[in-house]
Amino acid sequence: MKRLISLTRLILLISLFHHITISLFAEDWIVPPDKAEKTAPFVFSKESVEKGAELFVKNCQSCHGDPTRGNFAKLDPTPEDPASEKFKELTDGEMFYKITNGRGTMPQFKMILSEDDRWDLISYIRSFHSGYIQPEPELTSMTGAGERASMTILFDSLSKMVTISVYTVKNDMKSPVKGAEVLFFVKRYFGNLSLGDAVRTNEEGIISYPFPDGIAGDSTGQLTLIAQLNESSGYGNAKKAILVPLGVPTEWISLTAPRAMWNINFKAPVWLILSYSLTVLGVLLALVYIMLQIRKIFYLGSAVDDAKSDKP
């Protein structure tokens, strides 16, 4: 019976969405079922609500407005008030998924907010939903019996092959980790460039990763490669960075190197310097010549005067 009600609610909700969304978003925002079931790793508290409130102002308010006031931005699709029924209907996992990945006008916060931050946010939003009861928090699921794995990276500059081995250490014994997910990044000035989907280790706990072509390195092709364990695969989030000469060498030529009209005085086009200087010099010489001629008039006049005064 209960299921039926919630189903009708869902249908109602979907039809409502259909009215609101424009053709662009003909499809509804469906969260994969396994993600929707996800629950927070901690019990929501006064502290988490407060922290969430702070994060909300910084990251969400500009579109979603102040909860309960309905002063969200007029966008298409509408961001809606987080205190609204529509939000209440979502499971914690759905909310977490939407915040994490974003869609369309809703930015993804994967890179901006930590998982805990996102859960704090949800705890804040839930504080507006009367009658909400938090599902049992799932304590951090460490499938590898709580063991955190380590990593080593090797590379071969000729074959451009990067070899990662993932292992755990117990009583000074290394044992390879099978099926651990590793993400690859290249360090860039403002953030890390993802090289694609996570790669799984084989039976020996090893990944042979062909480094992709066409990634810019420095003048000698050096770049910083980062390998990181995907936390959700359950072996922690160990991270290794290594300088590898696998990038495309790029030569930096100063933008101000060429002579140009827009460059500094010293870097003016040669023809301009020459023609300007020669013209100015020519005119100046002519003017100096005229001045000297005026002086000559004076001397000639003096000579006449002298001749006159000599005569008598």
Partner 1 sequence: MQNSYDQVALDLFRPVRLNRSHLIWLGILTIALFLCLYAYSIQLREGLGVAGVRDYVSWGMYISNFVFFVASSLIGMLISAVLGLIGMKWIRPLTRIAEIIALAFAAVAGLVIISDMGRPERLPYLFLHGRIQSPILWDVTVVTTYVLISALLLYLPLIPDLAIGKKILNKPKFLVKLYEILSVKWRGTKAQWEIIHRSMRILLILIIPVALAIHTVTSWLFASTPRVGWNSTIFGPYFVSGAFVAGIACVIIAMYFFRKNYHLEKYITELHFNNMAKLLVLVSLVYLYFNINEFLVPGYKLEHGDAIHLKDIFIGHNAGLFWFAQLFGIIIPIILLLFRQMRKPFPMLILAILIFFASWIKRYIIVVPTQEHPFLPIQHVPANFLIYKPTLIEIAITLASFILVLMIITVLSKLFPVIPVWEMQEEFELKEKGNQS
Partner 2 sequence: MEENDKPNEEQSEQDKKQSRRKFLRNVGIITGGAVAGGAAMYTGIHYEGSKLPSGERLKLLAQDGRLLEVDAHHVTEVHLPESELLMQQGREGLPGHKWVMVVDLAKCRNARKCIDACQSAHHLRPEQYHINTLQMQESKKTAPYNLPKPCQHCDNPPCVSVCPVDATFKRSDGPVLIDNERCIGCRFCIAACPYSARVFQWFEPPLAEESKDIPYNIELNVPQKKGTITKCLFSADRLREGKLPYCVSACPNGVYWFGDEMEDAVTNGTTKETVKFSELLKQNAGYQLMPELGTKPRVYYLPPKNRLFPFEDGDQEEHKG
Task: Choose between 68 and 108: whose C-beta lies nearer to partner 2.
Answer: 108
Exposed e or buried b per residue across 16-33, where buried means at least 16 C-beta atoms within 10 angstroms of its C-beta: eeeeebeeebeeeeebee
Contact predicate 235/148, CB 8 Å:
yes
Distance between CA atoms of 1 and 244, rounded to whole angstroms?
Answer: 61
Q: Does 187 bind partner 2 (CB under 8 A)?
A: yes
Place of tokens 């998982």: 115
Given partner 2, partner 1, none, residue 297, with its beta carbon under 5 to 8 Å by kind, binds partner 1
Q: Does 260 bind partner 2 (CB under 8 A)?
A: yes
State whether residue 123 is helix, strand or coil. Answer: helix
Q: In angstroms, give the least distance from the CB of 146 to partner 1.
A: 57
Residue by residue, DSSP assigns 37-81 as T---SS---HHHHHHHHHHHHHHTHHHH-STTTT-----SS----
Contact predicate 107/79, CB 8 Å:
no
> From residue 40 to residue 59, what is the string marking binding to partner 2 with x (rule CB under 8 A)?
-------------------x
153, two tokens: 């990276």
Q: In angstroms, give the least distance from the CB of 76 to partner 1.
A: 23
Q: Which of 8, 68, 105, 163 binds partner 2 (CB under 8 A)?
A: 105
Contact predicate 235/164, CB 8 Å:
no
Q: In angstroms, give the least distance from the CB of 214 to partner 1.
A: 35
Task: Choose between 252 and 271: whose C-beta lies nearer to partner 1.
Answer: 271
Q: In angstroms, give the least distance from the CB of 280 to partner 1.
A: 6
Place of tokens 């951090």: 140
Task: Choose between 163 and 256: whose C-beta lies nearer to partner 1.
Answer: 256
91, two tokens: 């499971």
Q: In angstroms, give the least distance from the CB of 136 to partner 1.
A: 52
Which residues sit at the interface with partner 1, rule CB under 8 A? 261-265, 268-269, 272-273, 276, 280, 283, 286-287, 289-290, 293-298, 300-302, 304-305
Instruction: Give which of 162, 196, 202, 163 is closest to 180, Cα–Cα.
Output: 202
Q: Does 171 bind partner 2 (CB under 8 A)?
A: no
Q: Does 140 bind partner 2 (CB under 8 A)?
A: no
Q: In angstroms, give the least distance from the CB of 301 to partner 1.
A: 3
Interaction site with partner 2 (CB under 8 A): 24, 59, 62-63, 73-76, 102, 104-105, 107-112, 114, 185-194, 215-216, 218-219, 228, 231, 237, 239, 250, 252, 254-257, 260-266
